[in-house]
A = this chain, B = another copy of it.
Amino acid sequence: MQLLEDGVPLAELSIERIARTAGVGKATIYRRWSGKEELFVDVLRAAEPPDPELPGTSMRDDLIVLLESLRRRGLVSRASAILHNVYVQMKSSPRIWAAYHASVVAPRRALMLEVLRRGQRDGELREDIDLELANDMFVGAMLVRTTMRPQGDLPEDLAERIVDATLAGLRPVSSGTTSH
């Protein structure tokens, strides 16, 4: 974190340099991390808010908690110039991005799909909807604000509004093509 705060580019963050800065031998580092990528992902995870506990009361409640955690992650990234810079650099390093994806993004996505699958089983989600598409609809609306629009508004009730609007649909109720 000290090296990142000092503005050292990711490409120059070698295990050797990290060990030197931490005042330990390289062997000490390698005992816990198999490489620079793994160490780096752990540093990032330590700086990010922890993964949320799902209430499990309903699909809607779980989805709101999951989207809320994306919103918080966005707020943290905006508040920290270092973290923001790290995300941007990470995207241009395929190996680090792959490590971050495997240990953070993929499990989060799997959890999201699991929540949707339960919701479909319990009658909270349309049966004819593709779960991947449903995932992207819920998650995309939040991510487009947190990651693509640095000035985008992130109000406290955003997760709830996205979940409810996505469940209810944007078509006016009276003129819908539903069967009534």
Q: Copy number in this complex?
A: 2
Interface pairs A-B: 7 shortest CB-CB: A169-B169, A140-B140, A140-B144, A140-B141, A167-B171, A137-B141, A136-B141
Chain A residues within 8 Å of chain B by Cβ, number? 43
Determine the chain B residues whose CB is within 8 A of the CB of A168 once the complex forms: 169, 171, 176-178
Q: A88-B92, A137-B170, A166-B170 given. 10 additional CB < 8 A pairs?
A: A92-B92, A127-B172, A129-B165, A136-B162, A140-B140, A140-B141, A143-B143, A166-B169, A168-B178, A180-B180
Q: Scoring A residues 154 to 180 as 1 if CB is less than 8 Å from chain B, else 0, what string do you get? A: 000000011001111111110111111
Q: A123: which of B130, B144, B175 is its contact (CB, 8 Å)?
A: B175
Which A residues lie at the B interface, using CB under 8 A? 88-89, 91-92, 123-127, 129-130, 132-134, 136-137, 139-145, 147-148, 153, 161-162, 165-173, 175-180
Asked whether A126 lies within 8 Å of B171 as measured between CB atoms, the reply is yes
What are 12 pairs between A and B in contact, CB < 8 Å? Answer: A88-B92, A123-B172, A123-B175, A124-B171, A125-B172, A133-B165, A136-B140, A147-B148, A173-B179, A176-B178, A178-B178, A180-B180
Asked whether B153 lies within 8 Å of A132 as measured between CB atoms, the reply is yes
A84 to chain B, nearest CB (A): 11
Determine the chain B residues whose CB is within 8 A of the CB of A178 once the complex forms: 168, 173, 176, 178
Task: State in angstroms the CA–CA spacing of A103 and B137 once bound together.
Answer: 27
Task: State in angstroms the CA–CA spacing of A145 and B109 once bound together.
Answer: 13
